[in-house]
Amino acid sequence: MTEQQTSVMEQPPAQSPAAPPPAPPAAPSGGPSGKKKKKKRSVVKTVIAIVLVAAILAGIAFGMYQLVFKEDSSLGEPMVDYVMRGSIQSMVQGYGLTKAKDSATITPGTGTILELYVQEGEQVAEGDPLYRMDDSTARDAVTAAQKDVDNAAKQLQNIYDAAKDLTITAPHAGKLLEVGEFKTGDTIGAGTEIATLVNDTKLRLSLYYNYTYENDIYVGQPVTVSIPAIMGELPGKVEAINKVRFISPEGGIYFEVVLVIDNPGTLTEGMDASAGITAGGLDIYPYENGQLKYYETTRITAKTKGPVEQAHLLRYADVTAGQLLVQLGAEDNEAEITTAEAALKSAQEKLETAVKELERYNATAPISGTVLSCNLTEGAEVQSGQGITIADTSTMTIDINVDERNIANVRVGMMVDIDYQGQYFMGVVESVALTGTAENGMSTFPAVVRVDNPEGTMMSNSYADYSFVASQSENCLTVPVNAVKYVSFANIPGIEDLIAAGPADDFTDGVGDMGDMGDMGGMDNMGGMDGAEPMPDGGGDVTVLPAGDGEVVVPVPETYTAGAYAQPLRAVMIDGGVMISSGSASSGSSGGASRPSSAISDDGTGYIVFVRAEEAPVNAILEPDPAWECPEGFWAVPVVTGLSNTTHVEIISGLNEGDEVFIGYATNSSWG
C-alpha cells in the first residue's frame, strides 16, 4: 500500500528531538558577546531585503518583456487596399535664401557730410539726392584726369596720322609735273617735295570786262573762247564773277570774269585766249586777252619721314585720284602704336575712377527702392564702413539648389510655391544653371526664383521654403507604396508573356506627364530608409543597400490607428544587400504617358503586386519565387510603375481599377 502524499502545509508537526543541553548563562548586557550576536542578525536582514528587491525587479522586467517587447512570431492578418483611379504628383521641396532683386550700396568719400537727405525706411526714386559733401578736390582730380585722356588721345592720333601719311597718293586726277627722283631704300624727310600734280582736264581763263556790263554777265552764262594757237574756238561758261576794280591806262574800270573750258587734249597752260559774250543782242569783249591756266595745281610733299619702299613717279604721267605715288616704311611703328594705346587706356581708367570718386561726394540714388540702412550723420566726418544701402524689395529672388534627379523638371517660367514664415507667395523660376556642383555623391544645380513682394512682407537675407511639382499624372491607377514589391524574375520562366497578357486597363487614356520617374519612382520617399543611399533617376537603375547578416532594410510602413500597424513587405536579399530600383518607366512629354518597352530591367528585376482573387488573373505568376513570401489567397502580378510620392505609386500596366491588393500584415501592439 502506497503511502498518501500530503502537502507540506498539511503535514503534522514533527516530534521535537531530545532537548539540547542548557545554554550557558548569557553574558551581562552590554558585554562583547551580546554586541556580536546583534551585528550578525542585522547583516542577515540586509541580505534578505536585497534578494527580495532583486527578485521583484526581475519579475517586473520579465513581465514587461513578455507584454511589450517580445515579438509575436505570427504574421497577423493580411491588410489590403484597392487599386484606385486618381492623380499623383511628384513634389520637390527645399529652402533658399531671399534677397532683393535689385540693391545698391553707396559709400561716401572722405570728408564731412554737409547735408543728408534720406533716412532708413524712406522710399527713394532713381536720381534722388542722398547727401552732399565738399567735392572741390574730387572735381580737380576729374579735370586733371580728363586732360591726361585728351593728351593721350592726341598722341595716339598723331601716330595714326603719321602712319597714314606713309602712303602718298594723288589727291585728284591729273598729270604729274616736276617729279622727284627717288630709289627704293632712300630716306626722305617730312616736307620733301614729291611732285607737282596738275588737273589739265579743264582750263581756266581770267578776263576783265567793263563795269558797264556788270548786270549783263552772270555765273553759268555760256561763252565762246577763241584760242589763236589752234586757230579755233571752244565753248565755255562763266564760272565766277569777282567785282574787283581794275583800272586801265585809258581810265576804264573793269571787273574780273573767270571762265572755264574743257581741254580736248591739245591745250596747255600759257596759251593766249579771249572770249566774247553775247548779251541783249550785243557782243561784249574783254579789255585784253588772257592766258589759259590749269584748272587745279597741287604740290605734293611728304608729311612724315621714312624710307622709300615703292615709287611710281613719271613726268607727264596721267594719274587718277587716290593712285599710289610713293610708299614709305616706318620702323617700330606697331610698338609705338601699342604703347600709345596702353597710355590712353590707362588715362581713361584713371578718369573713370576719378568720376566715380566725385559721385561719392554728391550721391544720387542709383535705383528706386527702400533705404534699408543709413549710418551717416549730417555734420559728422565719414567713418570707414559707413554708407547707404538701397534695395528694391518689391521684387525678391530666392536662391535654391535642385539635385540632379529633379533638375530636368525645372524650367524657366515654371511656377513655384513659396512659404515664407507662414505666408504664401507664388514664385517664378527666373534662371537655371547648366552646370552643377558635385558633393557627397550628388550634384546640385543652382536656380533663381523671382517673387513679387509688393507689400514688402518678405525680408532680405532670410530663409523661405519652396515646393514645386516635378511631374504629375492625371486620371491614372494608383496603389499604396507598401503594395509594390521589387523582386528578381530570374527564376520565373515566361515572365514576358505574363506581362504582355496584362488586363484591359493597361496604358489608360488620360495619363498625364509622367516626367522623370524618380526613385522606384520614389522609393526613397516611402518614409525613409535607414542607411539607404539616394537612388539615381532613370528606369532600371539599381542601388544595393547595405544590410547585416539576416537583416533586411525595408521602407518604414504607413501607420494605422486602433493599435495596429502594417508589417512591411520583406525585400529580397541579394549578396548581403537589399536591391532597390528606380521606376521602370522613362520620361515622357506633356500630354501623354511614356510607355516603357518592358516591365523588366536589363538585370532581370522588376515590380510585383500581390492581388487577392479566387482565380488567378491572366497575368498572374502561378509559381512565384518562395523568397517573395506571397500571402495565402493572393497572386503575384508583375506591374509597370510610374510616378510615386510618399504614399502612393502610379501603376501604368498590370492591374485593374478596384483590384484588392496586399499591403502588409496587421499585428496588435499595446501596453496591456
State the cell numbers at 362.
554728391
CB atoms within 10 A of CB 580: 25
pLDDT at position 552 over 50 = no
Residue 26: pLDDT band with limits 50, 70, 90: very low
Predicted confidence (pLDDT) per residue in 290-315, tens digit: 999 999 999 999 988 888 989 999 99
Helix (H, G, I), strand (E, B) or coil at 470: strand
Question: If you average pLDDT over residues 186-200, what whole number do you get?
Answer: 90
Predicted confidence (pLDDT) per residue in 213-252, tens digit: 989 999 999 999 999 999 999 999 999 999 999 999 999 9
Handedness of CA 362, 363, 364, 369 (dihedral sign): negative
- For residues 5 and 15, give the distance between their C-alpha atoms in angstroms, rounded to a whole number: 19
pLDDT at position 3 over 90 = no
Residue 64: pLDDT band with limits 50, 70, 90: low
Question: If you average pLDDT over residues 540-548, what whole number do you get?
Answer: 36
What is the distance, to the nearest Å, from the Cα of residue 541 to the centroid of all Cα atoms in its chain?
29
Predicted pLDDT of residue 500: 67
Predicted pLDDT of residue 520: 36
Residue 115: pLDDT band with limits 50, 70, 90: very high
pLDDT at position 428 over 90 = yes
pLDDT at position 611 over 90 = yes
Predicted pLDDT of residue 74: 60
- Give the angle subtended at the CA of 468 by the CAs of 464 and 474, to the nearest 5°: 155
3-class SS string, 384-428: CCCCEEEEEEEEEEEEEEEECCCHHHCCCCCEEEEEECCEEEEEE
Cβ atoms 654, 506 nearer than 8 A:
yes
pLDDT at position 38 over 60 = no
Predicted pLDDT of residue 574: 30
Widest distance between CA atoms in the chain = 201
State the cell numbers at 31.
558585554
Predicted confidence (pLDDT) per residue in 452-463, tens digit: 998 888 988 889
- What is the residue-averaged pLDDT of the chain? 77
What is the distance, to the nearest Å, from the Cα of residue 318 to the centroid of all Cα atoms in its chain?
65
Q: Out of 151-165, 232-246, 487-501, 535-549, give the one with best mean pLDDT.
A: 232-246
Q: Which residue in 93, 97, 92, 94 sits closest to 397, CA to CA?
A: 97
- For 374, the enclosing helix (H) or strand (E) is strand 369-374
Predicted confidence (pLDDT) per residue in 134-190, tens digit: 989 899 999 999 999 999 999 988 888 777 888 899 999 889 988 988 888 888 888
Question: If you average pLDDT over residues 447-475, what whole number do you get?
Answer: 88
Count the helix, strand and coil residues of the chain and give each as a percent rounded to the nearest 5.
20, 40, 45
Q: DSSP characters for 178-216?
A: S-----TT-EE-TT-EEEEEEEEEEEEEEEEEEGGGTTT
Percent of residues, the chain, with pLDDT higher than 90: 42
3-class SS string, 86-102: EEEEEEEEEEEEEEEEE
- For residues 185 and 421, give the distance between their C-alpha atoms in angstroms, rounded to a whole number: 84
pLDDT at position 586 over 70 = no
pLDDT at position 584 over 70 = no
- Of 101-105, 521-525, 598-602, least confident by mean pLDDT is 521-525
Question: If you average pLDDT over residues 8-19, what whole number do you get?
Answer: 40
- Of 189-193, 424-428, 440-444, 608-612, least confident by mean pLDDT is 440-444
